[in-house]
Chains A and B, each alone.
Chain A
């Protein structure tokens, strides 16, 4: 079964996305802080990370690099945020984030993107 990690500081955001992603049938794990998100990512193997935490990617921690250096394939990374600051978005893409989606998001669009991403993985 595919594993998805949802990492948001807001519980309501986690609940909203859980409601959207429930029909996929993937195993959903939750992290409420960027620290617990990094810990979970380095400990387990996930197919997809959906997060609103941007600091681990552009804060100089090279999280994507650390995930790539492991023996297991790195998870696809979707960042969902209320941010619309263009330089920050560019920095996110440069640091290895696969998709940036802004809130409020369309449930159908997110579902389609997640399914496509999971199907494209080996």
Chain B
């Protein structure tokens, strides 16, 4: 009697717990099985309706929904010229996107901080928000890139100062990305003043712009960049000169003389890749021959090898 009186309630409670756990598992399975993109698609659809019909979306109540709306705004802005600056500013304030993304950028680090800054980069900021952002120093290069982008878009006339002042060291992959994003934001980059600073990042950005648009007017400035104390700038200047198709003269030879063998080989490869013939590379080959370097025959060998490959293909 005592045994049943004690064990029955325990059994009932255990069965109840089991039942609740089963229901919870079923709900979880339904949520996981559901299409992941549905909420993002819904947010994009609401923003599109706002742009087309002027129906302002309701402010998101949860962090997740706010984040989705920021992602939707970022995606739509990157793909479609749909929402004007004023509309994006209004959305940013009404849905508290600016406040919360700035808070995320200030209090998180690493990838989360970079993502918050990336999403923030399509929302026009006011003076106070820019001041708050200027005080944030992201650790991740990607976060630094987006912070710089936001500051430049806020005051495009200070572009040289902003790129120069941060003292950043962006990798070879991030410089083209910064230039491409600035181009998407319709920011005009002053190439001459960027190169005149002589600093690492401004010079790399300016050389990237010259190479990207093959701006032949700036070849004198690019030649001057060969004297830069930064190795990356010198290599970027050589790449840019190769893209511009300039004749190899004394200045290029002198700039390459101080480089290591691997770097000199890279220089020859760059010029060959841009279609320079062995004859056009003769000044570099002569300089290699004068120091008895095995690279003296490099250009001739590569050109012959390419010709053989072409003959075989044809």
Contact = CB atoms under 8 A, between A and B. Distances in A.
Interface size bracket, B side: 20 to 34
Interface string B70-92: 01100111111110000000000
Contact of A16 (B37, B80, B184): B80
B41 A104 contact: no
B89 to A, nearest CB: 17
B40 interface: yes
Interface residues of A, number: 16
Interface in A63-108: 82, 84, 103-107
B171 interface: no
Contact of B75 (A16, A82, A84): A16
A113 B41 CA distance: 25
A82 B177 CA distance: 11
A20 interface: yes
Given A11-B37, A82-B180, A104-B184, A19 B78 contact: no
Contacts of B183: 84
A12 B40 contact: yes
Given A82-B180, A104-B184, A15 B37 contact: yes
Interface in B211-235: 212
A20 B79 CA distance: 11
A13 B77 CA distance: 11
Dominant SS at the B interface? helix
Nearest to B79: A16
B45 interface: yes
A56 to B, nearest CB: 21
Interface in B226-276: none
22 contacts: A12-B44, A12-B71, A13-B79, A15-B40, A15-B41, A15-B75, A16-B76, A16-B79, A19-B45, A19-B48, A82-B184, A84-B183, A103-B78, A104-B77, A104-B79, A104-B81, A104-B184, A105-B79, A105-B80, A106-B80, A106-B81, A107-B80
Q: 9 nearest interchain CB pairs?
A: A12-B75, A16-B79, A19-B48, A104-B81, A106-B81, A15-B44, A13-B79, A15-B41, A16-B80
Given A103-B78, A106-B81, 13 more contacts: A12-B40, A12-B75, A12-B79, A15-B41, A17-B79, A19-B44, A20-B80, A82-B180, A84-B183, A84-B212, A103-B79, A104-B81, A105-B79
